[in-house]
Structure 1
């Protein structure tokens, strides 16, 4: 998970215009029990906030967001959760699959009915 955060910060630093940015916020809290939080902001608009707690398998479960600079100016926000299920980002930037055609929904409904009736195919 630390690698994911480091990668995100590194990607943000390369994507941003290379100018001298001043840090306007850098708050870090380590509670000593594996839980933590940090927030970072620069005067050029880059920003990130993360909170984490110990996970069930020894990892850090985290949630937060970061801002990515856009070529057109401005920033896009990426919210994320990173836990036992992996890194799960949510953003308008991320592609989404095309909706399934109506006939596929009908086929899935029929297949579910057949499974419920004990019908199997080999």
Structure 2
């Protein structure tokens, strides 16, 4: 009985399909001496990606030069939905993705918005108060 259970367990754990190699249809990469770059690729299963990076002086005194990256990618989800994501990433705002598939926050309830609007009209607190 234990042997039969072990055989069933190993059979269930085995990969159901061998890994399929996906061909790269197009690939470009251009690196410049100043650190900027551009890359893109496309695969036979419909994945596409591109990114541009540029070097800039960091805004903080404790950091060196930084790369500002901007790009996007697309692919087809298992349910058939085409996913498109665009992004920008820098040292000031971090990674900022945009895509229709990303969740969005619910609207602010009217009572909360009214309180926020009121608070925005108040003068700032005097210095030295925390």
User: TM-score, normalising length from structure 1?
Assistant: 0.74
Distance 1:97 1:42 in 2: 33
Pairing 1:9-28 to 2, within 5 Å after superposition: 18-28=19-29
Pairing 1:1-16 to 2, within 5 Å after superposition: none
User: In structure 1, what is the equivalent of residue 70 of structure 2?
Assistant: 63
Runs of 4 or more, structure 1, over 4 Å off, are: none
Q: CA deviation at 1:83?
A: 0.6
Contact 1:55 1:83 in 2 (8 A): no
Greater length-normalized contact order (CA 8 Å, ≥ 6 residues apart): 1
CA 1:114–1:74: 2 relative to 1, 3 Å: closer
Deviations 1:31-90 (A, max 9, x none): 211111000101110110000000322221110001243121243011000111211111
Which structure's CA Rg is the greater one?
A: 2
- 3-state DSSP of counterpart to 2:22: coil
Give structure 2 stretches of 5+ with no counterpart.
1-18, 59-64
Contact 1:68 1:78 in 2 (8 A): no
Which 10-residue stretch deviates more, 25-34 or 65-74? 65-74
Distance 1:96 1:50 in 2: 24
- Normalized per residue, which structure has more helix? 1
Indicate the RMSD between aligned Cα atoms, in angstroms.
2.2
Aligned pair partner of 1:102 in 110, 122, 128: 110
User: In structure 1, what is the equivalent of residue 39 of structure 2?
Assistant: 38
Give structure 1 stretches of 5+ with no counterpart.
1-17
> How many pairs align?
103
